[in-house]
Amino acid sequence: MTPRAERAVAARNLNAILGKKRTIDWALARRAQSSLSKELTYGVLRHYFSLCDQVDDALSKSFRKQDLDLYGLLLVGAYQLGRTRIPAHAAIYETVEAAHELRKPWAKGVVNAVLRKLSERPISPSEHSFEHPEWLNSKLRDQYAEAEALMDANNRRAPMCLRVNTRRTTPRDYQALLERADIGYRKSWLPESLVLETPRPTDELPGFAEGLVAVQDIGAQLAIQPLAARLEPGQRVLDACAAPGGKLFHLLEAHDGLNVVAIDRATDRVQDLQRIAARLGHRNFTIQVADATQLSWWDAIGFDHVLVDVPCSGSGTLRRHPDIKVTRRWTEVESQLELQGRLLGNLWLTLCGGGTLLYCTCSILAEENDGIVGAFVETQADARVIDVKLPTGQATRFGWQLLPTERTTDGFYFALLQKDEK
């Protein structure tokens, strides 16, 4: 891929995300990417708000809606000039030439003028120095004393974390494979958890195709810990909203003899889950396409344990998904609160007396976490909160919060509830 094509690809990625509200994962999978096109896409989204301030100040008039890809191209140029070591002359030249790749050569003069103007002036302080939308900035400041550290952590690159598949190898043997391949790593809180010193494409990981290892954030790997001491062979376990299956497969790898049922409402996500299961060698579970807000899928046999990782804002995963802070609105988060409460209430009906339900989100917002759990236990007479304690993070009133200020974990929330015996 030529240098100008890399800039054009990044601009098209941004057009899909900013103009069509696609996710960064969708945009990157849509077309061939180079390491630079990915870096430019992620970089612009991490610093989107201040970059917009700079570009808007240098533009004499806004682009038409159909030319949003050119605005993305200017953001790509501004990011290179202010946030990378790419020489200014190269950044400007290749970004200007990328207008040809976008089939808009008429815009070269505008792109050149704006980028030269930006290169000649110092970057002035922006009111968006923390690179978060106003609503999220306000929420974090209201809820966390360490809000600025949280926002700073959200703008950093995420670590690449691995989970060794203990059904196919041992942590020690897999570490030896990494050492033989000269891939640096460090250990984490669980024996099967490793953090790479430098992220790698999965096809460079030894034994990935053979299912020896999976990519999974350490915070997500800690999810099954609150249930660990309560799991016994023969028990019936439900993983609702199961795809893409990281917690499900970790559960199967860590505990023998469980009768596990997994459901997810999206057919394509279930198909992805099945493909991952085949790579990892997991067959001893039941999977079906089903809506966890309904009960038509349930055979009326109670579960001893239920794991529900509800749809949420994703506010704990901004290091990996910086598109969220650019495209998500508070009204969209607010509209999901009712769904989260409905999922919790409906799945409670499938739980046996004496059983436990683990409520999870990848959010750091109290409304989606303690807010949902607190409202539930206040109205559900047979629900009891069980204390959760993990090796990192902090206790909340009803659960446990992991934060991205811990460099090896995304932001996750866990609350463990027990149902009274009848």
* Phi, psi angle pair for 75, to nearest 5°: -65, -40
Contact 219, 409 (CB under 8 A): yes
Q: How far apart are CA 18 and CA 28, in angstroms?
A: 14
Bridge-based pairing state of the strands 213-215 and 161-164 = antiparallel
Angle at 53 between CA 52 and CA 59, to 5 degrees: 80
The helix/strand/coil state of 302 is: coil
The helix/strand/coil state of 208 is: coil
Residue type, 220: A
> Distance from first CA to last CA of the chain, Å, rounded?
65
Q: How far apart are CA 46 and CA 155, in angstroms?
A: 6
Residue type, 170: T
Q: In sequence order, what are the residues at sequence separation of 6 or more whose Cβ sits closer than 8 angstroms to the Cβ of residue 218?
A: 159, 161, 188, 189, 190, 193, 195, 408, 409
Catalytic hit among 52, 312, 360, 362: 362
Relative orientation angle of helices 3-14 and 88-101, to the nearest 10 degrees? 70
Q: What is the DSSP string of 69-111?
A: HHHHHHHHHHHHHHHS-S-HHHHHHHHHHHHHHTT-GGGHHHH
Nearest Cα to Cα of residue 45 among 78, 91, 4, 8 = 78
Torsion of Cα atoms, 235 then 238 then 244 then 248, to 10°: -20
Determine if the peptide bond prior to 105 is cis (ω within 30°). Answer: no
Angle at 380 between CA 377 and CA 385, to 5 degrees: 35
Nearest Cα to Cα of residue 101 among 35, 27, 5, 31 = 5
Q: How far apart are CA 361 and CA 410, in angstroms?
A: 11
Active site residue 362: yes
Contact 344, 372 (CB under 8 A): yes
Sign of the dihedral defined by the CA atoms of residues 185, 188, 190, 195, in that order: negative
Q: Catalytic positions, please? A: 362
